[in-house]
Amino acid sequence: MEVTRKNYKDSLSTVYSAIEEADFLAIDGEFSGISDGPNVSALTNGLDTPEERYTKLKKHSMDFLLFQFGLCTFKYDQTKYITKPFNFYIFPKPFNRTSPDIKFICQSSSIDFLASQGFDFNKVFCHGIPYLNQEEEAQLREQTEERRNQQANGVGTPSFISPSSSKGPAHVPEEHKDFINRVVEKVEALFSNSEKTLDLDPCTGFQRKLIYQTLNWKFPKGLHVETVETEKVSICFIFTFFDTFFGGKLVVGHNMLLDVMHTIHQFYCPLPEDLQDFKEVTMCVFPRLLDTKLMASTQPFKELITNTSLAELEKQLKENPFKSPQVETTERFPSYDTAQEQLHEAGYDAYITGLCFISMANYLGSFLTPPKAYISARSKLIEPFFNKLFLMRIIDIPYLNITGPDLQPKRDHVLYVTFPKEWKTSDLYQLFSAFGNIQVSWVDDTSAFVSLSQTDQVQIAMNTSRYAESYKIQTYAEYIQGKEKEKPGQTAKTWGEDGWVKSNYTSSTTSGFGYPRYAWTADPSVFRSQGTEEALIADGWSHYSYPDSTGSKKMKTDGV
C-alpha cells in the first residue's frame, strides 16, 4: 500500500491496526545517498571502534534524505503469515514560510541506481509526506498555540503542546525538584493502574516547561502531554497514553544500522554525539531489533550462506535446508511476487527481509527435539540476535550491541603505521614482507592499520622501525592512547555506572589473528543433544562470521 501526502490521514488507522495485530514488523529505507565522505575507505576502516564508526556515519550520512520508508507487518495465522506491506513516500515540504527549509544531499550514484530500478522521484517530491522531528513539532505547536491564543484572547482555548525537548534531562532548580518529582511519581503510578489520563494541579509556565522536559526525557514514548486552559487562570494537564508507533514489537531489518540512524534523526531527534546516548535513544524508539544480515552471518547460518546481500540471501533461503515460508498478502495490499524482483522499493525490501527472518527462525526450530516447523517472533531461540546491528566491514567486531557494551577484541597484533602520501598498499606489503601474511586497513592517505598474523612479531616490527625516517610505527594501544589525549575533558562512561547489565558475549579465547572466539560451538549435533530451547540459547548463536575486510583503498560501501 502506498502512503503519500494525499492519503496519509486516511491510511493512518490501517497502519496502526496492521502494527497492532502483527507478530513482527520489517522495515527498510531508501536514501538519497549513502556516504558524503571524501574517501569511502576512510569512512569504513576495518579496525574502526564502534564509537568511531558511529561518529563517521553520523557525520557523513545524516545529510541524506530518507525518502521512502518501507514497513511490512507480519501476522501468523495458523499455517501462514499474513503480510501488509506499506511504502511511505517522505519529503520535508516546508509547512510555512517560517518552518525549517530542510536541505538534503543527493549522491549521484545512489540516485542513478534508484532511477535504474524505476524509483518514482516525482511521487517523493510531489506527494511525499512532510514531517517534523519532536522538537520542530513542539515549536510549531507553540507558534500555533500562541497565534490561536492571540486571536481568541486567551479564554477557554484548548492548546496542545508536545514535549519541547528530547535533548537531555532538564535542569530542574532545587526549589522545583519536589514538585517535579511528585509529577513523575504520579505518571509512573499511571503505568501500573488502569487509568488512561491524569490531571495535575495548576502550575506556572516555568513549571510546565520543566514538566515537559522531564517527562519527555524520562518517558520519551507512550506519553502525550496536553495543556488545557479550563478557566482564565488555572492551567492543568491531561496525560493520555497511546501506543508508540512500533509498540515494543520486534522490528526486523537487513543491515539496518543506517535505517535506524536515519529514522531517529529524521523523525525523532538529532542524533546524540555519544554512542551510548544513541543506544539509549534507539531502545526508546525500537525496543527490539533484529538484523537479518547479522543473523545470516552468524552460526548456524554462516556456514550455509555464502552471500548475505538481501537479494542473494532471499534466493539461498528458498533452497535446502531452508524452506520458503507460507505468506499471503491481505486484499487491498499489492501482492509481491518474489520471482519478479522489485528490490529497492522499500516496502518490497522490507517484505523480503521479513521472509528471510522467518526462514532463518524456522530453520532454528529444526534443531529442537522434536523439531518445530514454526518458530514465532517471540521464541527464545531468536533472542540471541536481538538488538545487535551488523557493522559493515569491521574485521573483528561483527555488530553494534544496542543493549550492552560492545565487544572489545584484542588488537595486540595491530600496528598503526604513518608514511608519505605516495605510499600504496604494495609499499606496506613490501615493508612487512618478512612477517608473512598481513592485513592492511587504510585510515587516511598517510596512515593505515597493519594486522600481523602473530602478536609476537609486533615487538620485532617496532624494533626494526626505530631508525626509519620515512615511516613510523605505533602499537594499537599507543594509537588509542594518542587519540584519547586528543579529546580532553571527556570522561569514559562505563556501562556499569549507567545500570546496564554486562553482556555475556565476552571473548573467551583468542586465536589466529586475535579475533574473539566464543564458547558456543557450531556443530549442529550439539544442538540436538541438548534439545531444549533454553539450552540452545544459553550462550547465543554467537559464533560470528567476519565480514569482508577493506583490502583495497578504493573499495566502495554498498548498502546491502
Considering only 6-14, 109-117, 218-226, 348-356, which stretch makes contact with a second copy by CB under 8 A? 109-117
* 125 touches a second copy by CB under 8 A: yes
Cα separation, 543 vs 175, in Å, equals 54
* 556 touches a second copy by CB under 8 A: yes
* 103 touches a second copy by CB under 8 A: yes
Q: Which CB contacts under 8 angstroms, 24+ apart, belong to 107-115? A: 107/32, 107/33, 107/34, 107/35, 107/36, 107/64, 110/31, 110/32, 110/33, 110/34, 110/64, 111/32, 111/33, 113/344, 114/30, 114/344
Q: ∠227-228-232 over CA atoms, to 5°?
A: 125
* 42 touches a second copy by CB under 8 A: no
Pick out residues in 51-90 that bind a second copy (CB under 8 A). Answer: 65
Considering only 44-52, 112-120, 344-352, 470-478, which stretch makes contact with a second copy by CB under 8 A? 112-120
Asked if 505 contacts 406 with a C-beta cutoff of 8 angstroms, the reply is no
Considering only 6-14, 103-111, 261-269, 437-445, which stretch makes contact with a second copy by CB under 8 A? 103-111
Q: Least Å distance between CB 107 and a second copy?
A: 5
Q: Which residues pair with 473 in a beta bridge?
A: 417
Q: Judged by CB, which is closer to a second copy: 120, or 145?
A: 120
CA 489 from chain center: how many Å? 28
Environment class of 266 (CB within 10 Å of its CB; exposed 0-12, middle 13-18, buried 19+): buried
Closest CA to 90 of 217, 214, 4: 4
* 425 touches a second copy by CB under 8 A: no
Cα separation, 366 vs 313, in Å, equals 19
Amino acid at 308: T
Cα separation, 389 vs 154, in Å, equals 49
Q: Least Å distance between CB 32 and a second copy?
A: 8
* 558 touches a second copy by CB under 8 A: no
Instruction: Dig out the grid coordinates for 448 from the structure.
Output: 593505515
Q: Judged by CB, which is closer to a second copy: 537, or 555?
A: 555
Candidates 20, 21, 77, 112; binder of a second copy (CB under 8 A) is 112
Candidates 70, 92, 253, 300; binder of a second copy (CB under 8 A) is 92
Residue given cell 545529510 in the structure block: 63
Q: Judged by CB, which is closer to a second copy: 104, or 217?
A: 104
- For 373-410, b/e burial (b = at least 16 CB within 10 A) is ebbbbebebbebbebbbbbbbbbbbbbbbbbbbbbebe
* 97 touches a second copy by CB under 8 A: yes
Handedness of CA 539, 286, 218, 169 (dihedral sign): positive
* 32 touches a second copy by CB under 8 A: yes
In order of 201, 259, 312, 345, 351, the CA distances from 341 in angstroms are: 58, 21, 12, 10, 11
Q: Least Å distance between CB 242 and a second copy?
A: 29
Candidates 105, 140, 311, 480; binder of a second copy (CB under 8 A) is 105
Asked if 47 contacts 411 with a C-beta cutoff of 8 angstroms, the reply is yes
Cα separation, 441 vs 546, in Å, equals 15
Q: Judged by CB, which is closer to a second copy: 61, or 353?
A: 61
* 386 touches a second copy by CB under 8 A: no
Please give the size of the binding site for a second copy, defined by CB under 8 A.
32
Q: Least Å distance between CB 36 and a second copy?
A: 6
Considering only 97-105, 220-228, 392-400, 500-508, which stretch makes contact with a second copy by CB under 8 A? 97-105
Taking residues 310 to 339 in sequence order and writing x for each that binds a second copy by CB under 8 A, - otherwise, the string is ------------------------------
Q: Judged by CB, which is closer to a second copy: 147, or 218?
A: 147
Considering only 101-109, 142-150, 321-329, 350-358, which stretch makes contact with a second copy by CB under 8 A? 101-109
* 109 touches a second copy by CB under 8 A: yes
Asked if 336 contacts 342 with a C-beta cutoff of 8 angstroms, the reply is yes
Q: Least Å distance between CB 413 and a second copy?
A: 32
* 122 touches a second copy by CB under 8 A: yes
DSSP-H helix ranges across 169-309: 174-192, 205-218, 257-267, 275-285, 292-296
DSSP-H helix ranges across 219-274: 257-267
Candidates 126, 304, 311, 343; binder of a second copy (CB under 8 A) is 126
- For 122-158, b/e burial (b = at least 16 CB within 10 A) is ebbeebbbebbbbbbbbbbbeeebeeeeeeeeeeeee
Candidates 58, 76, 106, 455; binder of a second copy (CB under 8 A) is 106
Please tell me whether the peptide bond between 173 and the residue prior to it is cis, using omega within 30 degrees of 0.
no
Q: Judged by CB, which is closer to a second copy: 122, or 204?
A: 122
Q: Tell me the HSE value of 471 on the side-chain side, using a 13 A CA sphere.
A: 26
Give the strand pairing for 414-418 and 447-452: antiparallel
Candidates 56, 75, 93, 176; binder of a second copy (CB under 8 A) is 93
* 120 touches a second copy by CB under 8 A: yes
* 96 touches a second copy by CB under 8 A: no
Q: Least Å distance between CB 209 and a second copy?
A: 20
* 508 touches a second copy by CB under 8 A: no
Residue given cell 509556565 in the structure block: 205
Q: Judged by CB, which is closer to a second copy: 124, or 375?
A: 124
Q: Judged by CB, which is closer to a second copy: 104, or 471?
A: 104
* 172 touches a second copy by CB under 8 A: no
Considering only 11-19, 107-115, 420-428, 500-508, which stretch makes contact with a second copy by CB under 8 A? 107-115
Candidates 6, 12, 94, 177; binder of a second copy (CB under 8 A) is 94
Candidates 23, 36, 145, 427; binder of a second copy (CB under 8 A) is 36
Asked if 402 contacts 558 with a C-beta cutoff of 8 angstroms, the reply is no
- Give residues in contact with a second copy (CB under 8 A): 32-33, 36, 65, 91-94, 97-98, 101-109, 111-112, 114-116, 120-122, 124-126, 554, 556
